[in-house]
Amino acid sequence: MRKFSYLFAALLMTAAVFVSSCTKDEETDPGPSLTLKGGAGYTSADATILVGTTIKFGVVAGKSSVSNDKLTRFKCTLTSNNVPNTIKDTTLNADSFNWETSIQFTSIGSGRLSFEITDKGGVVIEKSFIVNVEGPETVKYSNIELGSWNDGVGSFFATSEGVAYNVAQTSTIPSTQAKIDFLFFKGAVNGNTIAAPDDIDANTISDLKLNLWTNKNQTRFNVVSINAAQFDAIGTNYQFPAFNLGLQTTKVNQLTADKVFLFKTQAGKVGLIKIVSLYTKGDKMKIDVVMEK
């Protein structure tokens, strides 16, 4: 009886060792841990941002709880247009890793931020998210008609409203003057012209009565290489060309149909004007305007 009991106990011990051994052998190594920092101020998932925005992101990594292999390498890459740009690539010999940084996105497009942590056993864990960068939201005014001082349509345009005002509505009303960003006139020398209210030549035209104005917005203009088709393709978000202060003018003259040029209002809004058509009789024109909202 004692012999049987001993053999049975031995058998149980052997089975226990076998089961324990199988459990240990089959336990899968998850590799190192990698967590993207979240919460207020951090970006950790796909995001759409405005051009010029700075985002902050980071990671916390740790060694595998199974293998205990130390961390050997961390790499962060920003890939845009299939071109990878290394943000950080560092070798390690550590149980944990904590890192963060900030990046300003200065051009529109889409990029993938990826993060890789590698341990001594060669296990690599990766996480990533997409950043879509859009231009400013736009507002567009189409087929705005501008005329001479004595035409039925106004000579003065307020970009904040998309409205044209005439001489009677502006000459003695400072609050309306403050809305006007540019005006139209057709001069003997300048031809068809878009000008700022403070333009010297515009102020020599007595019929416009700019001499009575107490508010003259200092809108400025730049010549650009954008054509009419490119202007028409501008959507609800757009990154406008950088305004060159060194080449700014107070007017753009000798205008022709389909010409496109850049403007910047005194309030700092940037936009584009396209000449739609010019009247062969009378001093009138039609324009399209697209600008930052």
Report the pLDDT value the prediction gives residue 148, as an integer from 0 to 100.
87
Residue 222 lies in a domain: yes
Q: What domain count does the chain have?
A: 2
Report the pLDDT value the prediction gives residue 3, as an integer from 0 to 100.
34
Beta strand pairing call for 156-158 and 163-165:
antiparallel
Answer yes or no: do 249 and 115 share one domain. no
Residue 6 lies in a domain: no
Q: What is the CATH number of the domain that holds 110?
A: 2.60.40.10
Residue 227 lies in a domain: yes
Answer yes or no: do 162 and 81 share one domain. no
pLDDT band, residue 281 (cuts 50/70/90): low
Please give the Cα distance from 260 to 142 (Å, whole number): 14
- Per-residue pLDDT at 145 exceeds 60: yes
Give one DSSP letter per residue of 38-80, joined into a string: -STTB--S-EEEETT-EEEEEEEEE--TTT-PPEEEEEEEEEE
Answer yes or no: do 106 and 231 share one domain. no
Burial string for 62-75 (b: 16+ CB within 10 Å, else e) reads bbbeeeebbbbbbb
Residue 94 lies in a domain: yes
Answer yes or no: do 148 and 271 share one domain. yes
pLDDT band, residue 119 (cuts 50/70/90): very high
Write the pLDDT tens digit of every residue in 28-65: 889 999 999 999 999 999 999 999 999 999 999 999 99
Mean pLDDT of 6-15: 36
Mean pLDDT of 74-81: 97
Q: How far out from the chain centre does Cα 269 lie?
A: 15
Report the pLDDT value the prediction gives residue 149, as an integer from 0 to 100.
86
Report the pLDDT value the prediction gives residue 160, as an integer from 0 to 100.
96
Beta-carbon-side half-sphere exposure of residue 262 (alpha carbons within 13 Å): 19
Answer yes or no: do 145 and 272 share one domain. yes
Residue 27 lies in a domain: no
Report the pLDDT value the prediction gives residue 280, as an integer from 0 to 100.
65
Answer yes or no: do 142 and 37 share one domain. no
Largest CA distance in the chain: 128
Report the pLDDT value the prediction gives residue 152, as an integer from 0 to 100.
79
Write the pLDDT tens digit of every residue in 16-29: 443 444 444 567 88
Report the pLDDT value the prediction gives residue 150, as an integer from 0 to 100.
83
Answer yes or no: do 97 and 110 share one domain. yes
Which of residues 104, 134, 164 is at a domain's end?
134
To the nearest whole number, what is the mean pLDDT of the chain?
Answer: 91
- Per-residue pLDDT at 14 exceeds 80: no
**Weakest-pLDDT range from 23-27, 80-84, 193-197, 287-291:** 23-27
Answer yes or no: do 143 and 127 share one domain. no
Answer yes or no: do 166 and 104 share one domain. no
- Per-residue pLDDT at 275 exceeds 80: yes
Residue 47 lies in a domain: yes
Q: Which structure tokens are listed for 182? A: 């540019």
Of 144, 181, 203, nearest to 271 by C-alpha is 181
pLDDT band, residue 251 (cuts 50/70/90): very high
Of 173, 138, 174, nearest to 159 by C-alpha is 138
Residue 11 lies in a domain: no
Q: Which structure tokens are listed for 192? A: 């068809």
Mean pLDDT of 125-148: 96
Q: Which residue range(s) make up the domain with 192?
A: 138-292
Answer yes or no: do 225 and 255 share one domain. yes
Please give the Cα distance from 254 to 221 (Å, whole number): 14
Which of residues 134, 149, 171 is at a domain's end?
134
Report the pLDDT value the prediction gives residue 151, as an integer from 0 to 100.
81
Which of residues 134, 167, 187 is at a domain's end?
134
Residue 14 lies in a domain: no
